[in-house]
Chain A
């Protein structure tokens, strides 16, 4: 097998114990890992890569697939199929639940990444700006944000208040996660003891919410209500990504908790008090409101 015949997967870089920070990339990596496709994963971090590929893209010979679904369809023709053991009924259910996850959790993730103002300004935007080379970092982050905004706008055409949308998303996410949790029950994977494409999809949408340290992440709290989902993510981590670094690559997360606006340091208060008092006293002295025999 020469170099040309190898499978290549171009993805956005990973961080925070995730193989990739982008959901679609995450799906492709996990699928190829579970199906044991001999794939070479390349990180989109040089100008050359960015100029020729978009992420995720799956390259084989001279074929290039730009979405997860296309790549999976192609891999199926090469007999890398995770769902081959499912019965017809199971695979129909698998398709349906995949759509449930897509319609309920995808907007939540897009919102969390790009539309929540604090998350986007303090975390996501900075991370992608550092992970991608100039000038592509501007193009990609902008594209991401526009895509997220389009999705949320089409789903909520009458609502302009982001807080209301967030509340609504939280409700649908809770609903969807509780369905997933009941469906998973106490088994290892959704269908018996080996993972299928449904597991790939669920992992890709749940793991980022769990692992990425967003500045404001209400959804992580929601997630901890279902211990079987968190242990499901940990199970896949242990089985397929045992050697991922835990630390953050691009961002120095503040070790000391950042002082927020309503917490003022005591030194500042002391300096202000001293200067204000001395100013007042000085004024009083100069005008002669207070007299002292030592100064006279």
Chain B
């Protein structure tokens, strides 16, 4: 995995950004789940921040197509690169970067907060989608199974759920209660909100991949209706974060609908 990634970053660096870049993701309306949607949106926001063109290609089996079995992934020319960090590295390899003005200490901050989001937000979203019985029964099982015919949908749901549970127990999250999870999310949001302060973005010089990732997660949580909307309630307690999300949405995502 690492070798292929390294090669594609090095080889890809020589080529300009191709015209027909495709971003593969599950169907947004019927199929996609909260954590996947957050990551897909984060990558879209990042590409828009870099002013790179892409087209979204919804596929029912996007997850299985991805080289790391995680969505989203992009196909740029001859290269297929998956996941937020891989895509960011690939684009940085082409000399397009949003972090050139940051000093090394700020870069540490950036990495640290990105891993905070991966480690807390994403895991919490997985927990809510797959472990919380109510959400699983009412939302997750239908959406995840929607692309498979009967009895396969049940089998697929089950195997995916076992995978997620294995991941959560490896991270010591499976034994937590829902309240513990919400508390972790609250702590995470508080940290993000304090770090953001009154600034327009996390770093003064403009948006970075961190802003893209925060936008992806928070926007998805705010706009996805769930039987338990505690996650959204938690985020609403931090007006700074809401303002950030609205700012990014207005600047990068509203333009399309105008024309």
A interface residue numbers (CB < 8 A to B):
67, 88-89, 91-93, 95-97, 99-100, 102-104, 147, 150-151, 153-154, 156-159, 164, 167-168, 171, 175-176, 179-180, 182-183
Contacts and interface: CB of A to CB of B under 8 A. Distances in A.
Given A89-B195, A93-B109, A164 B2 contact: yes
Given A158-B67, A158-B69, A182-B104, A99 B112 contact: yes
B187 A99 contact: no
Interface stretch (B26-34, B53-61, B164-172, B228-236): B164-172
Contacts of B163: 154, 157
A96 B115 contact: yes
Contact of B172 (A67, A154, A158, A168): A67
B120 A168 contact: no
A97 B69 contact: no
Top 3 nearest A-B pairs by Cβ distance?
A92-B191, A96-B112, A168-B2
Contacts of B115: 96, 99-100, 102-104
A95 B191 contact: yes
A55 to B, nearest CB: 15
A182 to B, nearest CB: 5
B2 A171 contact: yes
Interface in B83-140: 104-105, 107-109, 111-113, 115-116, 118-120
Residue of A89, A92, A164, A168 contacting most chain B CB atoms (<10 Å)? A92
Given A157-B69, A164-B2, A164-B3, A92 B107 contact: no
7 contacts: A96-B109, A99-B112, A99-B115, A104-B115, A154-B170, A158-B69, A183-B105
Contacts of A179: 107-108, 111-112
Given A164-B1, A182-B104, A99 B166 contact: no
Interface in B4-31: none
